[in-house]
Amino acid sequence: MLGRAGTAGPMPLRSALHNWHLANGAVFRPVAGRELVAHYGSSEQEQDARKRLGMVDMSLWPRRGYRGPEVARWLAPSLPLPDAVNQVQRTQSGELVLRPADTEYWWLGSLAGPGPGEMSGLAPGRLPTGVHDLACEHSHALFAVGGTQAPPCLSRLCALDVRPDRFGPESMAQTLVAGVSALLLRQGTPGLPVYLVFCESSLARYLWESLLHAGREFGAAAAGYTALHGVLTQPTDAAFDGPPP
């Protein structure tokens, strides 16, 4: 397959929403072999909107998933593991380890940097007996819904109480969002909550458009991945300030 410059090479990975992004004025930037949305149209308009309610398609963010009776024993030397189902642990490099089931763990690349990079530890290789690869990077889409109006927007589509004082940072739950089975994870600060929403890739466009529609009255706007830079390390909503680079 030919790359963009006409030389042989792999094409960058694209989200299931790639055509939607194209139709809505996305500006793409290749990062770590992935064609990510950097921003849309006017960065000035996006800058103001995403403070209130910004949505980022993070479906191409690096992640891994493993399941099996020996998975905890295998992962424990390399990662901090949650003690119970629906709990989250953070690594020293800012990656997240999720436990959606008793013998299942998902591992999400750090959100604190300017973009996705290589994940630490666990060099690729043959899995031991009793451990199975879930390929969750391909089976599930991932959206970030962040801003001061994220809780009321999600409340329109989800029976779960996601208000910041009830669903604190690094809370996690499995629920329905717009009738779609989803894994919901809270990140961000008390002043600027950010919710990560996982769903099956086949339902990505339906859920993405449902979230945008529900958030219309709150000023919802699609945003590029650069809107996430610093979201988990800044004490105020300054993390969403400034135009994308």
54 or 49: which carries more pLDDT confidence? Answer: 54
Between the alpha carbon of residue 8 and those of residues 1, 3, 5, the distances in Å are: 6, 6, 9
pLDDT at 155 over 90: yes
Provide the percentage of residues in the chain whose pLDDT is more than 90: 49
Range of 91-95, 188-192, 204-208 with top mean pLDDT: 204-208
Helix axes 150-157, 204-214, angle to 10 degrees: 120
Query: Measured between alpha carbons, how far is 100 from 103 in angstroms, rounded to an integer?
Result: 8
Query: How confident is the model over 137-151, as pLDDT tens digits?
Result: 889 999 999 888 999
In the predicted model, is pLDDT for residue 23 greater than 90? yes
Task: Evaluate whether 192 touches 146 at the Cβ level (below 8 Å).
Answer: yes
What mean pLDDT value characterizes the chain?
82
Residue 120 binned pLDDT confidence (cut-offs 50, 70, 90) = low
The pTM (predicted TM-score) of the whole model is 0.85
What is the mean predicted confidence (pLDDT) over 181-189? 87
Tell me what the mean pLDDT of segment 192-208 comes to.
94
Q: What is the mean pLDDT of residues 122-151?
A: 86
Q: Which of 181-190, 210-219, 223-232 has the lowest mean pLDDT?
A: 223-232
CA distance 14 to 237: 29
Average pLDDT over residues 153-181: 92
Residue 245 clears pLDDT 70, i.e. is over it? no
So what's the pLDDT on residue 91? Answer: 86
Residue 6: its pLDDT value, please? 47
Of 178, 172, 141, 143, nearest in space to 159 by CA: 178
Q: Comparing 148 with 112, which gets the higher pLDDT?
A: 148
Q: CA-CA distance, 211 to 239, in Å (whole number)?
A: 22
